[in-house]
């Protein structure tokens, strides 16, 4: 752990400019866990969710990720309640493209009329005139990709979206999208123990696209008794989750981890990971261990 721990640890993660013009502290916050069980409905303690969001910003978070489907709309409403009017340096990213039928029920839906409705609703629930980063949550295989992107492009032209992002895509899909419109970020499943998206991350590095790893704190077998994370934890006095986040931040300058939690203690623990400085040897050990 850095001896220079600050009141705003997220700043220690360094900065990245989304789309080349939106600077954020690289360690952000993902809001999904603020909704009720199964990411459905209101949380048991909405006031605590508001306190967690405010504390995240106090600790230096300038990038918050959410989606219309979280709740649905619950997380966007909580963000507005907690943080509106927003600080000038706060970047909120939302998503559309999944429809909810109940707890843990997620289906892709990319009909242009639906995407337009959801974007308009996100603007209302967030209290924004323009969403800084709006992401296509999933590509709907039953709707032409260019039609799904077309809605986001229209909103961009109308001044309701600043930058467009994609989620759970392949390199080929990113390239197809970039032939149609500039893409600022990609959000795929990626963590220290699950790296199927490595080719996508490498593509993002080469082309300076922000890479947002969801489920960033998963450690898998690396945290088993006697495993590398346990060994490193003992040396650093850091938790396996903190080490997993520190590894992500070290892995790439375009990496924008968004660990989420509804717990104040876990929030503070997660953000302290920005001040964990892995040695070259331990970084390589974790990189090879997976």
**Number of other CB atoms surrounding residue 288 within 10 Å:** 8
Query: Could you tell me the CA-to-CA distances from 4 to 56, 203, 243, 276, 278 in Å, in that order?
Result: 19, 34, 18, 11, 15
- Per DSSP (E only), the strands in the chain are 15-18, 22-25, 29-30, 63-65, 91-96, 98-102, 105-108, 131-136, 161-167, 185-189, 210-214
Choosing from 16, 29, 70, 190, which is the catalytic residue?
70
Q: Which residues, other chains included, contact 152 with Cβ-Cβ below 8 Å and sequence gap of 6+? A: 115, 119, 134, 136, 161, 164, 181
**Closest C-alpha to 54, from 24, 74, 26, 34:** 34
Q: Is 70 an annotated catalytic residue?
A: yes
Q: Rounded distance, CA 133 to CA 145, Å?
A: 19
Q: Rounded distance, CA 43 to CA 157, Å?
A: 36
Q: Rounded distance, CA 133 to CA 245, Å?
A: 23
Q: Rounded distance, CA 243 to CA 237, Å?
A: 10
Question: Does 120 sit behind a cis peptide bond, omega within 30 degrees of 0 on the bond before it?
Answer: no
Question: Active-site positions?
Answer: 70
């Amino acid at each position: 752990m850095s001896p220079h721990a600050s009141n705003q640890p997220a700043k220690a993660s360094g900065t990245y400019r989304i789309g080349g013009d939106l600077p954020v502290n690289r360690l952000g916050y993902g809001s999904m866990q603020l909704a009720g069980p199964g990411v459905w409905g209101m949380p048991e303690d909405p006031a605590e969710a508001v306190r967690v969001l405010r504390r995240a910003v106090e600790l230096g978070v300038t990038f918050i990720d959410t989606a219309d489907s979280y709740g649905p709309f619950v997380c966007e409403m909580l963000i507005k309640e907690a943080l509106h009017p927003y600080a000038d340096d706060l970047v909120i990213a939302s998503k559309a493209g999944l429809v909810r039928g109940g707890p843990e029920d997620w289906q892709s839906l990319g009909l242009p009329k639906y995407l337009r409705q959801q974007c308009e609703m996100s603007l209302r629930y967030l209290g924004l005139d323009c969403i800084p980063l709006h992401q296509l949550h999933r590509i709907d295989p039953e709707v032409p990709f260019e039609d799904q992107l077309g809605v986001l492009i229209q909103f961009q032209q109308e001044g309701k979206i600043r930058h467009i992002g994609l989620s759970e895509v392949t390199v080929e899909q990113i390239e197809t999208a970039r032939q149609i419109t500039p893409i600022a970020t990609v959000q795929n499943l990626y963590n220290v123990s699950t790296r199927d998206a490595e080719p996508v991350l490498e593509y993002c590095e080469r082309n300076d696209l922000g890479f947002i790893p969801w489920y960033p704190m998963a450690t898998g077998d690396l945290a088993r008794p006697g495993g590398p994370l346990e060994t490193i934890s003992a040396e650093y006095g850091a938790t396996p989750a903190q080490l997993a986040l520190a590894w992500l931040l070290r892995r790439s300058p375009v990496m924008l981890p968004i660990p989420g939690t509804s717990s104040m203690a876990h929030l503070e623990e997660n953000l302290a990971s920005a001040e964990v400085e892995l040695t070259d040897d331990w970084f390589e050990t974790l990189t090879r261990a997976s």
